[in-house]
Structure 1
Amino acid sequence: MSSEESDPVNHPDHYTWLPVEVIEITRHFSFVRGNALKYLLRADFKNNTIEDLKKARWYIDYEIRNLEEQAG
């Protein structure tokens, strides 16, 4: 999608840089894993790459803790 066609509400540039929108990828995962993936995929397209990578890490750490607790 070109910048002239950019739709910041429905199709923001940071979600449309792949041939398929990020939401179409993340919807196949759990909420937690989908959010981690979302932050990884858009990190270079937002104003703060490090912040998005830290958010992705937070969701990954959260998922790991949950899985470890379930395993006993």
Structure 2
Amino acid sequence: MSDNVNSPAHYTTYPVEVIELTECMNFNRGNAVKYIARAGLKDPAKEIEDLMKARWYISREIDRMEKGNRPS
């Protein structure tokens, strides 16, 4: 049985939990990775939506960087 609060199945598909990776990134990059990693795993019917959300965060990060705001 999966623990949907502490270790959701859609985040434990890979050798490392997604949160362990995303905590090393800024908000936009971490969220993009989160949506890419879980695309189609949480809800197969929303795979494209997950990828579109990732694209939104990537676009936001590019816009932020183009304005001269580098990641910390």
**TM-score normalised per structure 2:** 0.86
The residue identity in structure 2 corresponding to 1:66 is R
Name the SS of the counterpart of 2:16 in structure 1. coil
Query: Runs of at least 4 residues of structure 1 off by over 6 A?
Result: none
1:1-72 matches, cutoff 5 A: 4=1, 6-47=2-43, 48-70=46-68
Q: TM-score of the superposition, structure 1-length normalised? A: 0.86
Structure 1 residues not aligned, in runs of 5+:
none
Q: CA RMSD in A?
A: 1.2
Q: How far is the alpha carbon of 1:43 from its aligned partner? A: 0.3
Structure 2: any 5+ residue segments left out of the alignment? none
Task: Name the structure where helix makes up a greater proportion of residues.
Answer: 1
Please state how far the C-alpha of 1:70 moved relative to its aligned partner.
1.3
CA offset at residue 44 of structure 1? Answer: 2.5
Shift, 1:13, TM fit: 0.3
Identical-residue share of aligned pairs (%): 57
Paired residues in the alignment total 67
